[in-house]
Structure 1
Amino acid sequence: MSELWTPDRRPSLAGRLARLGFTDAGRAERLLAEAAADGTPIADPVLESLGAAADPDLALRGLVTLLGGLDQPARAAVQADEGVRRRLPAVLGVSSALAEHLARHPGDWEVLSGDGAIQRPGPQRLRDSLLHAVGADPADPEPCARDGSTDTLVALRAAYRRHLLHLAGRDLTGVADIGEVAAELADLAAAALEAGLAVARAEVPDAGLCRLAVIGMGKCGGRELNYVSDVDVIFVAEPKAGRAETEALRAATRLASALMRACSATTPEGSLWEVDAALRPEGKAGPLVRTLASHRAYYERWAKTWEFQALLKARPVAGDLALGEEYMNAIGPMVWKAAAGESFVEDVQAMRQRVESHLHRQTEEAERQLKLGPGGLRDVEFAVQLLQLVHGRADETLRSPNTLDALAALSQGGYVGRDDAAGLASAYRFLRRVEHLLQLYRLRRTHVVPDDPADLRRLGRALGLRTDPEGEFTALWRRHARGVRTIHEKLFYRPLLRAVARLPEEEARLTPEAARTRLTALGFNDPAGALRHIQALTSGVSRRAAIQRTLLPVMLGWFADGPDPDAGLLGFRQVSDALGTTPWYLRLLRDEVTVAERMARVLSASRFATDLLLRAPEAVAMLATDADLAPRSHEALLSEALAAVRRREDAGRDAEESAEDAVAVVRGLRRRELFRLSVGDLLGMTDVRTVGEALTDIASVTIEAALQAAINKIEMERRGPLPTRIAVVAMGRMGGHELGYGSDADVMFVHDPLPGADERDAQGAAHAVAEELRRLLARPAPDPPLQIDPNLRPEGRQGPLVRTLASYAAYYARWSAPWESQALLRADPIIGDAELGHRFRALIDPIRWPRDGIDEAALREIRRLKARMESERLPRGVERRLHTKLGPGGLSDVEWVAQLLQLRHAHEVAGLRTTRTLAALDAAVEAGLLDEADGRVLSAAWQLATRIRNTMMLVRGRASDLLPTDHHRERSAVTAILGYPGTGDLLEDYRRHARRARRVVERVFYGEEQ
């Protein structure tokens, strides 16, 4: 035998006990001394094993008590068996209740000995064992059970706890994992129910009148039971052949009641657990036992949402198993139809919220609740069950009653992300492990994490945490709870669930027949083509295909809500193909339903945005939040663009290649920002002014970066710095900060030679930069073109592309025409050399805002030019009243009114010194130069015309100034995006605004001002 502890080794014992983990070394020392005096000295290896226990002090007390109840050979055997030395302290260090069982039944230590100690008993072996304990023949239990005397019930409980001891020995030494432990506990409960039913048959004389099946519910049904838990059941009965139903139900009710007593009655060995039949139809108010037909009728007509959720875990566990299977065949299919009920998802979510609210009101222990508290077991179970019920209608692989198995299936099918599923599974195992450890201590039903340090220390050590058991356990538990809560809220309140739940079952399955029928009903023009897209996206067994099978039934409805469902589905397939196996894409659509819905709306409404997304499909991530769709500031865009230029310059490449690469990156930035802005516009998140400002920022940043790239290239070619400074003056809509999606960038180039520079050399360098900028931006690229139009410069196309500041001054002093002064009203030197831009602005301000206004000759000339433009520039064959730019009451009308007021009064009214049309109108109203009502009319007409032009570009992907009248889908798309109930409403509203605006134009621009 190993070396024994004896009193003569006392001097080193206390320190050793403390090192081993005993918290009361003095008491442990006394116990060891008493054991030695009683002839039961503790061997050193046993003492080491006790030190490895979760609570060495508790283990030692239990061991000494056990040894005191054994004879000498058994005592020696306990200490000599290496397996027992491992398993017994592990059990005794966690469970005082099992220590008490061993004190009453010391011979039961043998279940921890030998090869059998690590072997898992099957359900049949457990059933046979417990039937034998109550005197029933496992082969024919009906006539052979003893009655429910105390001795019989004591024998049942003793046998039950002997199996718990055997299981705990494997559990606490890591031989059985949490899934195996929970399944075996459920099998043991089923065996106890069978034994209890055998006892009940001995008590009920007319038991032979009926067939009785016991349906396990909850954790028993799901084979994931705790060590101590109520066992939820439902009873179903049928009369035996030739027996009356009424008599049979009476006998079955007596049998069920007797079974419940056999399991829950208190004896000297305690009770097993409560048998809870409250999940039956009508709950405690309903009959304890029903026939199969009665069950079916109830669930077909009266059952509530939570009752179907409860049935998800139903499983025959005892009694007439054939009848139990009949019950499952009759009731089971109803479970998977429940999610289609009115407000099913909302009902489940509301029920969970009520439980949480009640918990917080009723107990101060809510935050320490492993089961019902935030981030607890129920959070995992409810999320898994709701996903099962919604998606399990169409996917039978999800129909497991076991939480971990169902979670694995949900992950495999793509309904839950791998990381989320792994996080939930890990947390669930941890929480169940802690729950088991709590319940093993006293074999009492509890789910509350204690706050006593000693209890926390025992829990931590049982989990293998030894450095700081209390602190490490608390941190680990809180981390798991936070993770569960986060994932629960993402999954349980996932809006996609509601959309999927509302689909008819055949549509949720997305079979070809159902899809073809639905596509036609939804308004797809080419159902066959759409079906090919669907099959391409969903065929196969890949995770991508599985997620698509979940998404597409819902997204088809969203595509159909748009004006062009076929284009939406085609775009979705193209984006999905482009992103391929990108891991985040489908996960984003599944987990963030806002993204999926927005994507469907955009793809089915806008050719412009779809093209942008196809060229940069990763931009779909922007759809997640409103903040991601807000226009970025000019400063942020410029910083990013210039940084891209610098990186390419620093790469040390060939000058031309460096410039082209830099501008390619900047154009990619522009493409991304156009997508951001267009989606925000389509979703109604931006107004007209914001769109104009943002488009101008995007264009000016692009030109600024291209200008810098061009300068870098020319300087590399010249092998020295430029001999001049360059600025780019934004003109027209760009200068007015009111660009549209299809607008050109009207600009003028100005340069100013450096002191001492040769003017011809400076002019050549500036011209080379301007031409290089135009070349770089005109290169073929996968994005909407940015046309640089310099034709508003002095002398138009006949004049030099670039002029010096002095040349501009000379020209405007000598040759400037009224139209050029008018054009300068929207000149804004916002690109290039800032100081030169400031000087250019100072040069043109007196020209566009003349001190004395304009004379009658200039006024007549401006009016003549306006009339000429109306008659000559309007395209032939178009309906003038539908032309948003040049038609009566259109953009041009409003802008000429604003510009005339600026030319006449800007010198004296500071508010008119702006390049922006709406700001000029506001200033004119404030100065009393324009009637307030007229200002509102002009502003409203200008904004509506601008919105229509922008929306036309978004819908068609091509610019247009005409209201759509000949293409139904385009007309419908523009109408829907602008928020009108019908195309006739849009046309009528535009005409009304245009008529009112034209009346103001005729009075203010052509007649006398008020």
Structure 2
Amino acid sequence: MPRIESTAARLAKLGFADGARAATLVRQSGTELDDLLKGLVAVADPDLALASLTRLAEREPTVLDTLRADEDLQARVLAVLGVSAALGEHLVRHPEQLGLLAVPELGDARAELLRAVGAEPEEDEPRASEPDSLVRLRVAYRGRLLHLAARDLTGQIGLPDVTAELSDLAGAALEAALAIARAEVDAGDVRLAVVGMGKQGARELNYISDVDVIFVAEPREGADETAALRGATRLAQAMMRACTATTPEGALWEVDAGLRPEGRAGPLVRTLGSHLAYYRRWAKTWEFQALLKARPVAGDLALGAAYVEAVNEFVWSAATRDHFVEDVQAMRRRVESHVRAEGERQIKLGPGGLRDIEFAVQLLQLVHGRLDPLLRRKATLPALAALSRGGYVGREDSRGLAEAYTFLRQVEHLLQLHRLRRTHILPSDPGDLRRLGRALGMHADPVGEFTARWRRHAREARRLHEKLFYRPLLQAVARLPESESRLSTTAAAARLEALGYVDPNGALRHIAALTTGVSRRAAIQRTLLPVMLGWFADAPDPDAGLLGFRQVSDKLGATPWYLRLLRDETAVAARMARMLGTSRYATGLLLNAPDAVGLLGSDEGLSPRPPDALLKEASAAVSRHGTDMESAVAAVRALRRRELFRTAVADISGLMSIEHVGVALSSLNDVTIQAALDVAIGKVEVERRAELPTRFAVIAMGRLGGMESSYASDADVMFVHSPVPGATEREATDAAYAVANELRRLLALPAPDPPLLIDPDLRPEGRQGPLVRTLASYRAYYARWSSPWEAQALLRARFSAGDAALGAEFISVIDQLRYPPDGLPDDVVREIRRIKARMEAERLPRGADPALHTKLGPGGLSDVEWVAQLLQLRCADQHPALRTTRTLEALRAAEAEDLLTSADAAVLAEAWRFASRVRDAVMLVKGRPGDSLPADVRERRLIARMLGYPPDGSEDFLDDYRRVTRRARQVVHRVFYDS
């Protein structure tokens, strides 16, 4: 026991993780291993190597003597055993294959694997009839894998040679599997080609990976095509089974034909003509990206070569296809979704993983390879080198990506070799990390050094992925260090066009203006723009985004905090790019208040401010300007501009529902009217040299009254006043008129911000009636003259600004009219229906498509609102919950009171929300109001993008709108007209 304990201590000191277990293994082997310990402690996992070695020695006692006699063989064997438990198991089962590791080079893999399954490579129709051919194929395959891993792990060959040899070995196995299939299946008179795709096609396969293929078949001369395709399909299926079938020696790998036309829904085998017909008419850009790596690997190689030659035409013209930009953006989103979905320890799909690098390289090849044949390489590293030589990627960037890619592929291989399982997840167990670090030559602190190196490469790969597509655009127009690449302006324009810029030459001019020069401002812009350009590309209108960024930067570029904020606060820059590339309305607001950039830093900063706080700030702004009334209102309007920007950005960012947007805008308009009213009253009092002889209130109507204001809404209001004791009615009325007119003038003054136009046309008698009435006049008019439409309009009335007590008195007066005690007589209901039908016929603009008019079209806002209002007029007296100025609240109340079914209420609410969102989106995107979905396809696409549809979702947006409004119209017919 003392001897075992001392051996355990010595072995632990030498580098074994579990010295006691290692000592036990040494004792149980019954063999002196001291002369092999030097080799054992040098490998990645000495404990694993010792365990496999002792088992191998039990199976084949001469192994240890053989290893002692040949140091090169010893190094190869121990290197494999110290990394791969699976290959160690294989050697224990097949110790005769130890001799393979003593041979520097093996012969042709294809010939060897064909012989293993009973076929000969020179035969036209090889036969493989032995029942154990699947087993012998796997044994022979893993023997070759063992030989390759030994040379790989001892540094005798580099990554490109390893992946190429793995790919050729997989091709040889496919050929042998095809020979097995021919022995099993009578395929008839047909030629079958197996075309490698993905890593197999690019000769950059992993140790364990699905092997992507496409099958192409042609009948031999005189044969029937249909019968030939059936036979080829049976042959392909049998070949796939020969690779994936489970045997005592396991399976090889999955053969994946999912990249074929139509994917798994399409036929497994097609003729060459059928493939080409599909690619000409139906294929998406990602399919051509996949075909970039196509290579004949088995079967009829001449047919496979013909296929590759034919599809190359499509691959290198993909960038000129319709919807290329949308497809590219969709591919980028798929990559980003993988990045978000997978944890950071996923070295393939995680941030800074292999997919980041591969996608960027392939996309650059598609864009520039059309005009530069030197870029048409299948494998990632050669393609990256070609991009660097051509000036499309900076030399330093190329070197950084190549180093990261090589490191990550080496780690991927080490992960897979351990158990011969397909995995891309870095382990968290320190023992596994130690094995990885030591396999890569890190012995001092393998876990810490490996983790640091992996994180460094991942960060660098992610950073370079983000800048790779954009940074060279700057180099095309700006003076940058000589070490950077020199992308021609033609190539830069092509890249911008591929990203979705409609005017790439204009974009290049903006880039040049922002980045040229030696100032600190230009230097920071050169840091910012590579990432900003990508964010603009993700926005609906990249050109508008870049233009807006230049305009804002021209206004604020000399302000120290502006560029520093964008550089240091990623969230601000990203949100700004999204906003500039989406909304001309918000961009215009920002250009006139550029310091509002500071609001973009957080979601909390975009939350609407409480009306009380806004009113307090507005009142303070008015006070600061004293008797300068116009300057005071200008300050109030500037506050409104800032809050409009806050709301617009929150809306664009998806932080507010359409209902909340309406409340925020309506509250802001109330505050603006109140502050301007205070100024107007002050001015009138100064001119009269006396206090106002009347109480004055503003009553909100229409959308303002319903707390449903849009960005384009006017302020529908009525003015009411009530003389104070001692004042004559004439004196009070004159003063009230002066206040109302001054309020309208102040809010309509020319200014850089959106005006708030006061519209008093919903007052009694409309434009023919007096602008201002006393409360008594309103009471008398409504008691004697009011018509049904006026009662309906008053359903939206609420106090907005001025004397709150007077506002409450006015609301009390109109309640009897808008909530009639006995409901509505049938003749009044008929009149309301007649008015609505007439409005639909007469008010729709000439030439407008009724189905696409959000306000007056079938199932639009008017339809929904009239349903809610008719229910209120008929039932609010008996159901007080209906006494609200808001449409959706009225619908919810009607549902709760069983006046509407839940299904009908949901349909109407969905249509109202959809139409309201479209109206707001039109204003946000175009910067001018519109009540219809645009007929222009590009404008409609921009609005669809703002509403969350994908780049190619314009028609889906149109279909959704038609569907939602059609269903709402059906409810309107049933509830409004037939009830």
Q: Give the TM-score category using the shorter length.
A: 0.5 to 0.7
Q: Structure 1 pair 333/516, CA: closer, same or farther in 2 (3 Å)?
A: closer
Secondary structure (helix, strand or coil) at the match of 2:773 reads: strand
1:959 paired to 2:929 = yes
Cα deviation, residue 558, structure 1: 2.0
Is this contact kept in 2: 1:731–1:746, CA < 8 A?
Answer: yes
**In structure 2, what is the Cα distance between the partners aligned to 1:871 and 1:852?**
31
SS in structure 2 at match of 1:838: helix
Distance in 2 separating the partners of 1:905 and 1:389: 67
The superposition leaves residues 69-103 of structure 1 with CA deviations (integer Å, 9 ceiling, x where unpaired) of: xxxxxxxxxxxxxxxxxxxxxxxxxxxxxxxxxxx
Within 5 Å, give how 1:481-500 maps onto structure 2.
Answer: 497=463, 500=466
Q: CA deviation at 1:543?
A: 1.6
SS at match of 1:1005: helix
Question: Aligned pair 1:916/2:886, yes or no?
Answer: yes
What is the one-letter code of the residue matched to 2:588?
A: D
User: Contact 2:748–2:755 at 8 Å: present in 1 too?
Assistant: yes
Q: Any conservation in 2 of the 1:503–1:554 contact (CA below 8 Å)?
A: no
- Cα offset, 1:938, TM superposition: 0.9
For residues 638 and 382 of structure 1, the distance between their equivalents in structure 2, rounded to whole angstroms, comes to: 56
After superposition, residues 133-144 of structure 1 pair within 5 angstroms as: none
The aligned counterpart of 1:546 is 523
Task: Give the conservation status (yes or no) of the 8 Å contact 2:474–2:515.
Answer: no
Q: Which of residues 591, 594, 604 is equivalent to 2:581?
A: 604
Aligned to 2:769: 799
Q: Work out which of the residue numbers 509, 517, 532 in structure 1 matches 2:494.
A: 517
Partners of 2:557 and 2:932 in 1: CA distance? 39
C-alpha distance in structure 2 between counterparts of 1:622 and 1:763, whole Å: 44
Describe how 1:880-899 pairs up with structure 2 within 5 A.
Answer: 880-899=850-869
Distance change (3 Å), C-alpha of 1:341 and 1:741: farther
Aligned residue in 2 for 1:431: none
Separation of aligned partners in 2, 1:339 and 1:854:
80
- 2:557 is matched with 580
Q: Is the 8 A contact 2:867 2:975 kept in 1?
A: yes
Q: TM-score, normalised by structure 2?
A: 0.54
Structure 1: where are the runs of 5+ without partners? Answer: 1-245, 247-281, 309-330, 348-353, 363-376, 391-495, 650-654
1:752 CA displacement: 1.2
What CA distance in whole angstroms lies between the structure 1 residues aligned with 2:558 and 2:703? 42
Contact 1:937 1:997 in 2 (8 A): yes
Q: After TM superposition, give the deviation of residue 721 of structure 1 in Å.
A: 1.4
- Counterparts of 1:124-203 in structure 2, within 5 Å, are none
Report 1:357-436 matches (<5 A): none
Q: Is the 8 A contact 1:613 1:620 kept in 2?
A: yes
Is 1:663–1:706's contact at 8 Å kept on the other side of the alignment? Answer: yes
Residue 969 of structure 2 is matched in structure 1 by 998
Partners of 1:629 and 1:357 lie apart in 2 by 43
Does residue 1:979 correspond to 2:948, yes or no? yes
Query: Is residue 618 of structure 1 aligned with residue 682 of structure 2?
Result: no
SS in 2 for 1:746: strand
1:439 maps to: none
- Which residue number in structure 2 is paired with residue 664 of structure 1? 634
CA contact (8 A) 1:630 1:680 kept: yes
Shift of 1:701: 0.9
- Deviation per residue, 1:467-488 (Å, 9 max, x gap): xxxxxxxxxxxxxxxxxxxxxx
Give the Cα–Cα distance (whole angstroms) in 2 for the partners of residues 916 and 692 of structure 1. 10
Tell me, in whole angstroms, the C-alpha distance in 2 between the residues paired with 1:355 and 1:550. 35
Q: CA deviation at 1:389?
A: 5.4
1:782 aligns with 2:752: yes
Identity of aligned pairs, percent?
Answer: 58
State the partner residue of 2:874.
904
Structure 1 residues 662 and 497: alpha-carbon distance in aligned structure 2, compared to 1, 3 A threshold: farther
Question: For residues 801 and 553 of structure 1, do their structure 2 counterparts lie closer, same or farther at Cα, with a shift above 3 Å needed?
Answer: same
Aligned-pair CA distance for 1:594 = 2.1
Q: Deviations over 1:115-139 (max 9, x none)?
A: xxxxxxxxxxxxxxxxxxxxxxxxx
Which of 605, 622, 629 lines up with 1:645 in the alignment? 622
Contact 1:724–1:757 (Cα < 8 Å) also in 2: yes
Matches of 2:644 and 2:715, distance apart in 1: 15
Corresponding position of 1:26? none
Unaligned runs of 5+ in 2: 1-103, 105-148, 165-203, 207-346, 353-394, 412-425, 435-447, 477-485
Q: Classify 1:332/1:773 alpha carbon distance in 2 versus 1 (closer, same or farther; 3 Å).
A: closer
Which residue identity is paired with 2:400? W
Counterparts of 2:500 and 2:612 in 1: how far apart (Å)?
45
Q: In structure 1, what is the equivalent of residue 937 of structure 2?
A: 968
* Counterpart for residue 512 of structure 2: 535
Q: Counterparts of 1:703-722 in structure 2 under 5 Å?
A: 703-722=673-692
Q: Once the 2 structures are TM-superposed, how far is the Cα of residue 987 of structure 1 from its aligned partner?
A: 1.5
Answer whether contact 2:677 2:802 (CA < 8 A) is retained. yes
Going from structure 1 to structure 2, the CA distance change for 1:721 and 1:995 (only over 3 Å counts) comes to same
- Which secondary structure does the structure 1 equivalent of 2:605 belong to? helix
Task: Report if the CA contact (8 A) 2:470-2:534 is conserved.
Answer: no
User: CA separation in 1, counterparts of 2:429 and 2:464?
Assistant: 23
Contact 2:470/2:530 (CA < 8 Å) preserved in 1? no
Structure 1 residue 499, shift from structure 2 partner: 5.6
- Offset from partner CA, 1:163-183 (integer Å, 9 cap, x none): xxxxxxxxxxxxxxxxxxxxx
Whether the 8 Å CA contact 2:471–2:529 is kept in 1: the answer is: no
Structure 1 match to 2:503:
526
Q: Write out per-residue CA displacement over residues 807-864 of structure 1, whole angstroms, 9 at most, x where no aligned residue.
A: 1111111111111111100001121111111111111111111111111221121111
Measure, in 2, the Cα distance between the counterparts of 1:339 and 1:904.
76
- The answer on whether the counterparts of 1:921 and 1:935 sit within 8 Å (CA) in structure 2 is yes
CA-CA distance at 1:928 after TM superposition:
1.2
Letter in 2 for 1:1001: V
Q: How many angstroms apart in 1 are the aligned matches of 2:768 and 2:968? A: 36
- Counterpart Cα distance in 1 of 2:650 and 2:790: 36
Larger Rg: 1
Does the 8 Å contact 2:475/2:487 carry over to 1? Answer: no
Match of 1:92 in 2: none
RMSD (Å) for aligned C-alpha atoms: 4.0
TM-score (norm 1): 0.52
The residue type paired with residue 568 of structure 1 is G
SS in structure 2 opposite 1:915?
A: coil
Equivalent residues of 2:702, 2:716 under 8 A apart: yes
Answer whether contact 2:470 2:533 (CA < 8 A) is retained. no
Matches of 1:299 and 1:782, distance apart in 2: 63
In the TM superposition, residue 333 of structure 1 has moved relative to its aligned partner by 8.6
Cα drift, residue 295 of structure 1 = 12
Q: Evaluate the alpha carbon distance shift between residue 916 and residue 335 of structure 1 in structure 2; reply closer, same or farther with a 3 A threshold.
A: same
In structure 2, the partner of 1:697 is 667
Amino acid at match of 1:975: A
Q: 390, 400, 404: which one pairs with 1:336?
A: 400
Cα distance in 2 for partners of 1:760, 1:294 equals: 99
1:942 offset after TM fit, Å?
0.9
Indicate whether 1:688 and 2:658 are aligned: yes
Once residues 689 and 828 of structure 1 are traced to their aligned partners in structure 2, the CA distance between those partners, rounded to angstroms, is 18
* Distance verdict in 2 for CA 1:545–1:922, change over 3 Å: same
Distance 1:684 1:333, change over 3 A: closer
In 1: Cα distance, 2:531 partner to 2:858 partner: 45
Distance 1:332 1:757, change over 3 A: closer
Equivalent in the alignment of 2:826: 856
Task: Say whether residues 1:988 and 2:959 are aligned partners.
Answer: yes
- 1:560 paired residue among 537, 556, 560: 537
Amino acid at match of 1:991: R
Residues 563-617 of structure 1: per-residue CA shift (max 9 Å, x gap): 3221111111001111021112112222222222222221122111111111111
From 890, 896, 905, the counterpart of 1:926: 896
Aligned position for 2:647: 677
Structure 2 CA distance for aligned equivalents of residues 534 and 962 of structure 1 = 35
